[in-house]
Amino acid sequence: MSNQKIIVKFLGGSAPPYSAAAQKRLDASQQTDWTRLSSKFGNLSLEPHFTAISEPEIRALEGSALTKGPGASSLTSYFVLNVPDSVDPRSLLAAILEWDTVETAYVEPIPSDPAVSPSDDPRFFNQGYLRAAPAGINAVFAWGLPGGDGAGQHLVDVEQGWTFNHEDLAAKNVSLIHGRISDSSRSHGTAVLGELCAVDNQKGCVGIVPGLASVSASSTSGSSVANAILASVAHLTNVVKDVGTILIEQQWVNWNGNYPNMIVEVASDVFDAIRLATQLGHLVVEAAGNGSHDLDTYHLNGAFPLRRGDPGFRDSGALVVGAGSAAAPHDRLSFSNFGSRIDCYGWGENVDTTFSNPAAATNLYTAAFNGTSSASPIVTGAALAVQGMKRGGLDKAPLSPATLRAILSDPTLGTRSANPSVDKIGVMPNLQRIAGSVLKLAPELYIRDTINDTGVPHNGIASFSPDIVVRQRPVTHPQASFGEGSGTENNAMLSEAVASGADNYGYVRVRNKSDVPANAAVVSLYWSPPSTLITPKNWRLIGSKSIDVPNGNKLTVVGPFNWPQASVPGPGHYCFIATVSHMFDMAPVLATLDPIQNFSAFIQANNNVAWRNFDVADIRPRGNEEAAVLPFMVPNPDPGPFVDMRVEICADLPPGSRLRISMPDTIRPATGLAFGPGYQPGTLNVELAASGTTVPFQAQFLPPESWLRILVQIPPKYWNRQYEIFARQLYREFEVGRITWLLALPPVEEGKEA
């Protein structure tokens, strides 16, 4: 007999008894069909497909599942038709599909580990996927809550090979419950387990959920994907006797000859095995595969089974994971399958984890594990942490697979990809936000970016927080003046101009939308020089204060932060940054922020940080020939230079005004802009249009920073109002920062010189 097999699924009530040599127990009409089939193709046999457990055990599991809702087809309707060596499997498949009692049949596809070769990917020597959003899932936060390290939870990994006694895994006592270990796949399975449960033993790395109660492996080597899933279901249900999580780290080498590296649930037997698992309360996490396919376009018999919303959509209940880039904002990686069926994404590149080789080495590591293989354990770890935190609290009841999937894939609870409508890989879970918003286990603090900010990620304005307030004199009762019930909750114009040569006073307003009070939260207020790109290395701390923030989303004021005269660097333009942090709701680590990855997006994604540009300055140009000087900095952090970065200047000035920019000659102005008067070697002076024009400059800024000056001249007869000028910095055509000046010009008294 050939190694190739055809999976045959009989219509309900038409399957023969589930026993060996089932062809001998077909009914009369089927016997006629079988005789015709055998005479054409030779010696054939029909055997039960699901053999990981006995038929009575299968039916017992299905009976339990039916008590929880309508079930999928019985697994005992699946059989294996062995293909003789001399037979073309396609011809045999066509013949069996002609049977009236056969619902479907297909040549059993070949599974593989859904990894992408790491040879061309850069290596990073840290586990960034453990960090706070938007970089990672914030596993470090979850470890601080009961059950957040996976304590009490159970995992079964479905793939082909592992090295269980790796130095960073041996303490987990991983057991093989089905199939055999493929030496060629040891590196893959060892890397997956390292992401999930590498122990905290001062060696190598640490897993997302190192506290798991049990870890098991079910191999498709020497078996099938569907049988390995069934064995996992039986193990969790009958041996562990608790709900668990099944991770499917397999993809089809080539499904139906047209879909290389395809998601495994397109095969009916796998779909039904997953369906059984989810009905019994076990979450199934499934790698989407690395075929670059839009799963919404996959069609079968005129239906689109993987397109949510289509009449032909079939939901196995699995949580499907695509692959995004390691750096935020996370783009879909080109190899990842994508579409509406994808629920979540994880890092698909540069993942630090345990490793092995065919010889079962026990001390290897890699910083380049990737593919949907590396993405799926990240989301699986998040799922196990959420289930652990839920069951580690007062309510011990587990979350259902459907509820877990809904939580983990909720865009308001995770980190969106860079371009969700194009990427179509869902969101990366944020354990801190889930713990606060859904599980109500921790405070969820936020400082608003806009009046309408409700403490969720957004794509709106990030540089004008209404909750950072600066005044020239201290306020006697700040809570009554600015807090809940003051009538000023939604007033974004509470600040006064920063007064040079005097003390100034800052206030920060904070909300907590959790049911848990945030006692002893720490609020910090910083100022930064005028800059189009806000880099933490340039932040200067004004002060930090402790505050109790009650639950109930009440606007709570902290301050004053005294900004003494000696620390105020003269009249001008400032950026203020406020952070709020609590032991169970930590602000992100600012030192690790790469500003080129978009500070605006960083602010939009993080509730605990807010930013406000203070625009008013005491700028009083004297006479039409004397220019007001507006200095500002354009950072270009290493490595650089970044040729796809540029700056735009925009002004709204009255007739007769002049607007110039002075900059180092290392910056090349945009085509068509001439050097203005006063050019000197090393400096470029460019005349700009004075009103209503956005002027771009080519992005050749040298690291670490360039200082530029805008020179403004306004005829005295127009000194009776305020005028706005702004500079904004773009990286890859996305605004990453801006600074705005509001020229406050006093009116000129008649008969007097300005």
Half-sphere exposure (Cβ direction) of 522: Cα atoms closer than 13 Å: 9
Nearest in space to 608 (alpha carbons), one of 422, 397, 376, 436: 436
Averaged pLDDT score across all residues of the chain: 82
In what helix (H) or strand (E) does residue 64 lie, and over which residues does it extend?
Answer: helix 55-66
Q: What is the pLDDT of residues 598-626, one digit of tens each?
A: 455 555 556 778 777 664 344 444 444 55
3-class secondary-structure state, position 341: coil
CA angle 483, 486, 487 (to 5 degrees): 120
Please check the confidence at residue 725 and state whether its pLDDT lies above 80.
no
- The residues, ordered by sequence, that sit 6+ positions from 696 with a Cβ below 8 Å of its Cβ are 646, 647, 648, 670
Please check the confidence at residue 676 and state whether its pLDDT lies above 50.
no
Please check the confidence at residue 284 and state whether its pLDDT lies above 80.
yes
Which residue's structure tokens are 């790469």?
594
Nearest in space to 158 (alpha carbons), one of 113, 214, 218: 218
Rounded Cα–Cα distance for residues 468 and 470 (Å): 7
Rounded Cα–Cα distance for residues 70 and 61 (Å): 13
The DSSP annotation for 440-484 comes to: --S--EE--SSTT--SS--SS--SB-TTEEEESS--S-HHHHHST
Task: CATH number for 445-616: choose from 2.60.40.10, 1.10.1060.10, 1.10.3470.10, 3.90.1410.10.
Answer: 2.60.40.10
| Bridge partners for 106 per DSSP | 7
Confidence at 706, pLDDT banded by 50, 70, 90: low
pLDDT of residue 641: 44
CATH class of segment(s) 112-437: alpha beta
Please check the confidence at residue 476 and state whether its pLDDT lies above 60.
yes
39, 131, 277, 323, 374 from 378: Cα distances, Å: 52, 12, 21, 10, 7
- The residues, ordered by sequence, that sit 6+ positions from 353 with a Cβ below 8 Å of its Cβ are 127, 191, 192, 194, 195, 198, 205, 365, 366, 369, 374
Please check the confidence at residue 668 and state whether its pLDDT lies above 80.
no
Confidence at 532, pLDDT banded by 50, 70, 90: low
For the domain made up of 619-744, give the CATH fold. Immunoglobulin-like (2.60.40)
The DSSP annotation for 313-337 comes to: -----PEEEEEE-SSSSPPBPTTS-
Higher pLDDT, 541 or 500: 541
Phi-psi region of 551 (alpha: psi -120 to 50; beta: other; left: phi over 0): beta
Q: Where are the beta strands (DSSP E) in 623-690?
A: 628-635, 645-652, 658-664, 683-688
Q: What's 261-304 look like in SS3?
A: EEEHHHCHHHHHHHHHHHHCCCEEEEECCCCCCEHHHCCECCEC
Range of lowest pLDDT (114-128, 433-447, 699-713): 114-128
Nearest in space to 216 (alpha carbons), one of 159, 167, 273: 159
Confidence at 534, pLDDT banded by 50, 70, 90: low
- The type of residue at 499 is A
Rounded Cα–Cα distance for residues 364 and 125 (Å): 14
Averaged pLDDT, 232-244 = 95
This prediction has a pTM of: 0.69
Q: What percent of the chain has pLDDT over 70?
A: 79
Please check the confidence at residue 76 and state whether its pLDDT lies above 70.
yes
Higher pLDDT, 131 or 589: 131
Rounded Cα–Cα distance for residues 645 and 732 (Å): 6
pLDDT of residue 354: 94
Q: What is the pLDDT of residues 131-141, one digit of tens each?
A: 888 889 998 88
Rounded Cα–Cα distance for residues 577 and 537 (Å): 13
pLDDT of residue 708: 75
Nearest in space to 692 (alpha carbons), one of 639, 745, 651, 744: 651
Range of lowest pLDDT (314-318, 507-511, 627-631): 627-631
Confidence at 737, pLDDT banded by 50, 70, 90: low
Please check the confidence at residue 753 and state whether its pLDDT lies above 60.
no
Q: What is the pLDDT of residues 417-472, one digit of tens each?
A: 999 999 999 999 999 889 888 888 888 889 998 888 888 766 666 667 899 998 98
Nearest in space to 363 (alpha carbons), one of 208, 164, 168: 168
